[in-house]
């Protein structure tokens, strides 16, 4: 808000000027007010800040099915704080359900749709503030991109992680007990009855999947950025704490409107570096290397891919949740959540304001760690470096990423022979058909932002390889990307991608490839002259999708190393 002491037109007394005044103040706005009154507004409510609540509730996504309750608490908070709430919906895609078929083409591109839809509604209706109710993989970054782009006071509420399942008195989770179970079944390690029973108990209810997969990683990144209230990232779905956080977020957004505390005042360069550092300490999903730069881009800040690697080299991995470890999001919540992780890293973090009006340093100082195995000290870290490593070499001149904390020591340096596939489906067929042998490096190409299009996740192949006991025998390299649930030597985001004539397009079966994670190298052991000769014979394949909005997306999306932003 800004002070407007002369605005007394049409009987209004002097007060702060709000963005919504563009549609509700002055003689020429009689028609606009008539339409607003048609929604049920009273004259008194017309004077309140207009708060848009962008909700991704639907009945399709487990992480979002419980949002109706949180919507009620946000609404109560907004009205308690003196605002008036207006709800509008945005789409949500479940990556787990979209995985392994045509649906996954739409997942990453939906990030752009979500940002554009929020921008459209907020600008068209001159909203004073936004509460962004989200939970899963692309929805959270899409909402943050919109907040950064609009620079309207905004606060994010993530709906919370799913509780773990239980089967035969052992805690169960989505990736290990469904995707990896497929490989175990193929290896005859579990029976068909056990596989069927795991389907029913791996995901016992609503919430984002239980490990440090992309949805929960992005929730943690959001809190670390300062865009959620304290404790929001790990507050469990269905808990009273999550309801209170929702209510408090509704109250707080009205205060933020009055303070004119906007996203770009919070999401500074320092804030993004803090978020990357927390991500590295958590061993989060490699998808953050797409999402954090994309959010920063909309905030007017360019974050090179190399920044992830430099921060990772100086940030110990002190949390090891599934898929890399055996702890779950509920363990992180009970151990103190993101504030406790900040407490461990407080001397490495830069100070920055948050939506709570408290600074990062203040939050970190007051936090306490209640379980030193779930959140270790820097001296007793699981790994001396952070979760993500950025590799470069003649196979990926512009870089690629690997979750190094989910790779066994014996596979951090690996030399193997290429087995090339031009789609995820053909690679999966070979894996399930027993055609992949120890020492192979599976190449899955034409799955990048343009070539996919949409840069599909490769959870099915990677989890099946792990379930079949081959995670320490083979590697997978792709210009696509991986689920946060991936573990093992799986290297994604190869840039440039095959569709843009990147070197991955010229790899042939039997070519020798060296992966050297400690030294950040990925090399195709083929002479440069031979590669150039192969390039002259190469022709780009026909686009996999030739109609609809994905065909348009493929023409304007940029490379993975830039965050796959649309320009």
Q: Which of 312, 483, 495, 559 is catalytic?
A: 483
Closest C-alpha among 304, 538, 560, 298 to residue 453: 560
Classify residue 281 as left (phi > 0), alpha (psi -120 to 50) or beta.
alpha
* E strand or H helix at 551: helix 549-556
Tell me how long the chain is: 567
- Count the Cβ atoms, other than its own, within 10 Å of residue 33: 17
Contacts 24+ apart (CB under 8 A), 231-235: 231/337, 231/338, 231/339, 232/156, 232/157, 232/158, 233/158, 233/337, 233/338, 234/160, 234/161, 234/329, 234/332, 234/333, 234/337, 234/338, 235/160, 235/333, 235/337
Domain 48-166+205-366: give its CATH code: 3.40.50.2300
- Tell me, what DSSP letter sits at residue 489? S
Instruction: Kindly list the distances between the CA atom of residue 280 and the CA atoms of 217, 243, 245, 370, 403, in Å, as whole numbers in the listed order.
Output: 10, 29, 26, 21, 10
* E strand or H helix at 397: strand 396-403
Instruction: Kindly list the distances between the CA atom of residue 422 and the CA atoms of 89, 198, 244, 432, 505, in Å, as whole numbers in the listed order.
Output: 37, 32, 49, 17, 9
- Tell me, what DSSP letter sits at residue 9? G
Q: Quick check: helix, strand or coil at residue 218? A: helix
Instruction: Kindly list the distances between the CA atom of residue 318 and the CA atoms of 16, 365, 369, 381, 470, in Å, as whole numbers in the listed order.
Output: 46, 18, 12, 5, 27
CB-count exposure of residue 45 (10 Å: 0-12, 13-18, 19+): middle
- Please give the pLDDT value at position 487: 81
Q: Are 223 and 235 in contact (CB under 8 A)?
A: no
Residues 6+ apart with CB under 8 A from 507: 395, 418, 420, 443, 445, 513, 524, 526
* E strand or H helix at 460: helix 459-467
359 has catalytic annotation: no
pTM for the model stands at 0.94
- Please give the pLDDT value at position 505: 98
Q: What are phi and psi of 444, to 5 degrees?
A: -115, 110
Closest C-alpha among 212, 367, 359 to residue 280: 212
Q: So where are the chain's domains? A: 1-38, 48-166+205-366, 390-562
CB-count exposure of residue 494 (10 Å: 0-12, 13-18, 19+): buried
Closest C-alpha among 462, 466, 418, 409 to residue 441: 418
Q: Quick check: helix, strand or coil at residue 51? A: strand
pLDDT in 10s for each residue of the chain, 567 residues: 544 433 433 334 435 679 999 999 999 999 999 999 999 999 999 999 999 999 999 999 999 999 999 999 999 999 999 999 999 999 999 999 998 889 999 999 999 999 999 999 999 999 999 999 999 999 999 999 999 999 999 999 999 999 999 999 999 998 888 888 888 888 899 999 999 999 999 999 999 999 999 999 999 999 999 999 999 999 999 999 999 999 999 999 999 999 999 999 999 999 999 999 999 999 999 999 999 999 999 999 999 999 999 999 999 999 999 988 999 999 999 999 999 999 999 999 999 999 999 999 999 999 999 999 999 999 999 999 999 999 999 999 999 999 999 899 999 999 999 999 999 999 999 999 999 999 999 999 999 999 999 999 987 888 888 888 888 999 999 999 988 777 889 999 999 999 999 999 999 999 999 999 999 999 999 999 999 999 999 999 999 999 999 999 999 999 999 999 998
Sign of the torsion angle spanned by Cα atoms 166, 172, 174, 179: negative
Alpha carbons within 13 angstroms on the beta-carbon side of residue 42 total: 4
CB-count exposure of residue 30 (10 Å: 0-12, 13-18, 19+): exposed
- State the DSSP string of 490-525: EEEEEES-GGGT-GGGG--TT-EEEEETTTTEEEE-
- Count the Cβ atoms, other than its own, within 10 Å of residue 341: 28
Closest C-alpha among 39, 73, 69 to residue 57: 69
- Please give the pLDDT value at position 80: 98
Measured between its terminal Cα atoms, the distance across the chain in Å is: 31
Domain 390-562: give its CATH code: 3.50.30.80
Q: How many degrees, rounded to 5, is the angle at CA 84 between CA 78 and CA 85? A: 75
Q: Quick check: helix, strand or coil at residue 143? A: helix
- Pairing state of beta strands 50-55 and 84-89? parallel
Q: Are 435 and 545 in contact (CB under 8 A)?
A: no
- Please give the pLDDT value at position 16: 66
């Amino acid at each position: 808000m800004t002070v407007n002491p002369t605005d007394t037109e049409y009987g209004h007394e002097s007060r702060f000027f709000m963005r919504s005044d563009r549609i509700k103040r002055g003689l020429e706005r009689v028609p606009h007010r008539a339409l607003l009154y048609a929604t049920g507004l009273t004259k008194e409510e017309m004077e309140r800040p207009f708060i848009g609540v962008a909700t991704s509730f639907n009945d399709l996504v487990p992480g979002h099915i419980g949002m109706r309750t949180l919507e009620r608490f946000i609404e109560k908070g907004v009205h308690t704080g003196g605002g008036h709430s207006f709800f509008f919906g945005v789409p949500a895609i479940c990556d787990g359900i979209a995985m392994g078929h045509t649906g996954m083409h739409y997942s990453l591109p939906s990030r752009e749709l979500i940002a554009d839809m929020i921008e459209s509604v907020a600008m068209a209706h001159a909203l004073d503030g936004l509460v962004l109710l989200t939970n899963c993989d692309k929805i959270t970054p899409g909402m943050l991109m919109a907040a950064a782009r609009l620079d309207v006071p905004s606060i994010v509420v993530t709906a919370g992680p799913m509780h773990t399942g239980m089967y035969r008195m052992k805690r169960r989770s989505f990736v290990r007990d469904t995707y990896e179970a497929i490989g175990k079944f193929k290896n005859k390690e579990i029976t068909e009855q056990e596989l069927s029973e795991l389907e029913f108990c791996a995901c016992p209810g609503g919430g984002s999947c239980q490990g440090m997969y992309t949805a929960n990683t992005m929730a943690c990144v959001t809190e670390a950025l300062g865009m959620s209230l304290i404790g929001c990232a790990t507050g469990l779905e269905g808990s009273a704490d999550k309801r209170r956080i929702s209510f408090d977020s509704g109250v707080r957004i009205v205060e933020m409107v009055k303070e004119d505390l906007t996203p770009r005042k919070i999401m500074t360069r320092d804030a993004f570096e803090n978020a990357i550092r927390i991500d590295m300490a958590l061993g989060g999903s490699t998808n953050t290397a797409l999402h954090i730069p994309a959010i920063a881009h909309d905030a007017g800040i360019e974050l090179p891919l190399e920044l992830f690697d430099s921060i990772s080299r100086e940030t110990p991995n002190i949390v090891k949740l599934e898929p890399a470890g055996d702890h779950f999001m509920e363990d992180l919540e009970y151990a103190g959540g993101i504030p406790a992780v900040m407490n461990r890293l407080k001397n490495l973090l830069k100070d920055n304001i948050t939506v709570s009006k408290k600074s990062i340093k203040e939050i970190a100082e007051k936090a306490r760690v209640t379980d030193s195995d779930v959140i270790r000290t820097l001296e007793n870290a699981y790994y001396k470096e952070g979760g993500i490593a950025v590799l470069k070499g003649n196979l990926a001149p512009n870089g690629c990423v690997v979750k190094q904390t989910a790779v066994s020591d014996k596979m951090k340096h690996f030399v193997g022979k290429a087995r090339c596939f031009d789609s995820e489906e053909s690679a999966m067929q070979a894996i399930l058909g027993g055609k992949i042998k120890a020492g192979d490096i599976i190449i899955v190409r034409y799955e990048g932002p343009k070539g996919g299009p949409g840069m599909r996740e490769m959870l099915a192949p990677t989890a099946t390889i792990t379930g079949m006991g081959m995670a320490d025998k083979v590697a997978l390299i792709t210009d696509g990307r991986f689920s946060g649930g991936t573990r093992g030597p799986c290297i994604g985001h190869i840039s440039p991608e095959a569709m843009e004539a990147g070197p991955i397009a010229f790899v042939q079966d039997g070519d020798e490839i060296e992966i050297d994670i400690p030294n950040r190298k990925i090399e195709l052991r083929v002479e440069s002259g031979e590669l150039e000769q192969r390039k002259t014979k190469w022709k780009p394949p026909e686009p996999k999708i030739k109609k609809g909005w994905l065909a348009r997306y493929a023409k304007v999306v940029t490379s993975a190393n830039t965050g796959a932003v649309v320009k």
